[in-house]
Amino acid sequence: MTAKELKALVSLLDDEDEQVVSHVTDRIRSLGKEVIPYLEQEWENNFNPQTQQKIEILIHDLQYELLKHRVTEWYESPDQDLLTGLWLVATYQYPDLELEKLKQDLEQIYYEAWLEFKPDMYPIDQIKVLNGVLFNKLKFSANTKNFHSPGNSMINVVLETRKGNPISLCVIYMMVAQKLKLPVYGVNLPNLFVLVYKDGNQAFYINAFNKGLIFSRQDIENYIHELKLVPQPSFFEACSNLEIIRRVFRNLIMSFDKMGEHEKAEEVKELLLIIADGADLGV
């Protein structure tokens, strides 16, 4: 469809006949993601607030359908790349966000860590170096003031503000650590997400939400005991990228619900359903 033909279609969104508007809306939706740039241009050139709102809804619907398709592709991909999954979560709110930009931002953090890193250090000392770079030099920290902000689930926002929730801080930490060849992985605890350094028989845990605090398996056992829960193997072992993205989606749903943005929460639930297994964990 040419830009002229689309312009003619968009002009019909002003029609007083609701059936005409409904038909035109369905027709534009059927054209798919390729028409999004044309719609954005029409929005800029249109000075009718009601028509602009209809165009905004159309753009959102098309972007949302594209996102569902991308999430399905990610779920069916053999590696389920973590950064790609986090990018997909963020594009719900920031549809123009580029994956390459996230890669560049993480590469810069890795470079800062690499400058101070020595492969022959003891594991604890390696982690202390990484802690120093992330939490002292780069000033990453817990977003305790706005703990339930949706931005805490958007990796681009966390990289920009340097503030996040347990899982967003942990995934940034983990991706940088793994790029440094450290055996650091995510651990799904109830109400908390942490990291494990596991190399053969050596294992210890890291709390990125508390400036990289190092702790032991016994500390996790005490934590589980305080919550009056039955210990599960998953509370101590590394989790998959899929489990991480599921949890990020759940956190985002809860954030939108707490902010009263229930329509957004429902849309994110649909995205979660694409990759869900029925499990449910909090932040």
Tell me the pTM: 0.87
pLDDT of residue 283: 45
pLDDT of residue 17: 63
- CA dist., res. 49 & res. 52, Å (int): 5
pLDDT of residue 280: 46
| Distance from chain centroid for Cα 154 | 5
Give the mean pLDDT of the chain: 90
pLDDT tens per residue, range 77-112 = 999 999 999 999 999 999 999 999 999 999 999 999
Is the pLDDT confidence value at 161 over 60? yes
Report percent pLDDT > 70 for the chain: 91
Q: Which 3 state secondary structure label does DSSP give 144?
A: coil
- What residues form DSSP beta bridges with 188? 193
pLDDT of residue 160: 97
What does the block give as tokens for 130?
């990484």
214, containing H or E segment? strand 213-215
- Token look-up 């996790």 returns 220
pLDDT tens per residue, range 122-154 = 999 999 999 999 999 999 999 999 999 999 999
25-29, 178-182, 224-228, 260-264: least confident range:
25-29
- CA dist., res. 179 & res. 110, Å (int): 7
pLDDT of residue 171: 98
pLDDT of residue 40: 79
- pLDDT band per the 50, 70, 90 thresholds, residue 281: very low
Residue 246's CB: how many other CB atoms inside 10 A? 21
- Token look-up 């000075």 returns 47
Mean pLDDT of 250-256: 97
Report percent pLDDT > 90 for the chain: 71
